Amino acid sequence: MPNAAITGWGVAVPDRVLTNQDLERMVETSDEWIVSRTGIRERRIVGANDSTTSLATDAARKAMEKAGCTADDVDLIVVATATPDDFLVSQSCLVQAEIGGSAAAFDVGAACAGFVTALAVATQFVNGGMYNRALVIGVDTLTRYIDYTDRGTCVLFGDGAGAVVIESSSEPRGLLSTELGADGAGHKHLYVPGWAQMVPESADIFPDSRPHLQMNGREVFRFAVQVMGDAALKSIEKAGLTLDQVDMLIPHQANARIISAAQRQLQLPEEKVWINVDRFGNTSAASVPIALAEAADAGVLKEGDNVVLVAFGAGLAWAAGLVRWGTDGTSPATPAS
Ligand code: UT7
The CATH number of residue 54's host domain is 3.40.47.10
Q: Please say if the pLDDT value at position 140 is more than 90.
A: yes
Which pLDDT value is given to residue 194? 73
pLDDT in tens, 95-135: 999 999 999 999 999 999 999 999 999 999 999 999 999 99
189 is a domain residue: yes
The identity of residue 266, as a single letter, is L
Query: Between these two residues, 12 and 221, which has the higher pLDDT value?
Result: 12
pLDDT of amino acid 201: 54
Dist CA 275 CA 249 (whole Å): 9
Residue 332 forms part of a structural domain:
no
From 221, 227, 288, 310, give the residue whose CB has the most ligand 1 atoms within 8 Å, as the site to mutate: 221
Grade residue 181 by pLDDT with cuts at 50, 70 and 90: very high
Q: What single DSSP character describes residue 267?
A: T
Q: What is the spatial distance between Cα 55 and Cα 60, in angstroms, rounded to a whole number? A: 9
Helix axes 114-127, 287-297, angle to 10 degrees: 70
Measured between alpha carbons, how far is 135 from 90 in angstroms, rounded to an integer? 15
- Distance in angstroms (rounded) separating the CA atoms of residues 81 and 294: 20
In a domain, 334, yes or no: no
In a domain, 127, yes or no: yes
The number of residues in the chain equals 337
334 pLDDT band, cuts 50/70/90, is very low
- Angle among Cα 196, 197, 202 to the nearest 5 degrees reads 105
CA of 60 to the centre of ligand 1 (A): 34
Query: Residue 26: its pLDDT value, please?
Result: 94
CA 286 to chain centre: 3
Average pLDDT, the chain: 92
Ligand 1 in reach of 255 Cβ (< 6 A): yes
Inside any domain, residue 314: yes
Whether 20 sits among the annotated catalytic residues: the reply is no
Taking the centre of ligand 1 as the mean of its atom positions, its distance from the CA of residue 273, in whole angstroms, is: 24
Whole-number Å distance between alpha carbons of 211 and 134: 34
Asked whether residue 336 is domain-assigned, the answer is no
pLDDT digits (tens, 9 = 90+) for 218-239: 888 888 989 999 999 999 999 9
Q: How many C-beta atoms lie closer than 10 Å to residue 42's C-beta?
A: 18
Name the domain count of the chain: 1
Q: Which residues pair with 108 in a beta bridge?
A: 80
Q: For 67-104, what is each residue's pLDDT tens digit?
A: 999 999 999 999 999 999 998 899 999 999 999 999 99
Question: What average pLDDT does range 254-280 have in this prediction?
Answer: 96
**Residue-level pLDDT at 331:** 45
- For residue 335, the model assigns a pLDDT of 39
Residue 37 alpha carbon to ligand 1 centre in Å:
7
Check if the beta carbon of residue 288 is closer than 8 Å to that of residue 259: no
Confirm whether 143 is domain-assigned: yes
Query: pLDDT value at position 12?
Result: 98
Is there a catalytic annotation at residue 252?
yes
Residue in 93, 112, 154, 255 annotated catalytic:
112
Residue of 69, 189, 252, 255 marked active site? 252
Which residue minimizes the CA distance to atom 42 of ligand 1? 29
**Residues 229, 265: contact at Cβ < 8 Å?**
yes
CA of 138 to the centre of ligand 1 (A): 26
- Kindly tell me if the per-residue pLDDT of 287 is higher than 60: yes
DSSP states of 108-119: E--GGGHHHHHH
Domain assignment of residue 185, yes or no: yes
Question: How high is the pLDDT of residue 119?
Answer: 98
Domain range enclosing 33:
1-327
Return the amino acid letter for 263: Q
Q: Whose CA is nearest to atom 18 of ligand 1?
A: 37
Res 333 pLDDT > 50: no
The answer to whether 41 and 155 are in contact (CB under 8 A) is: no
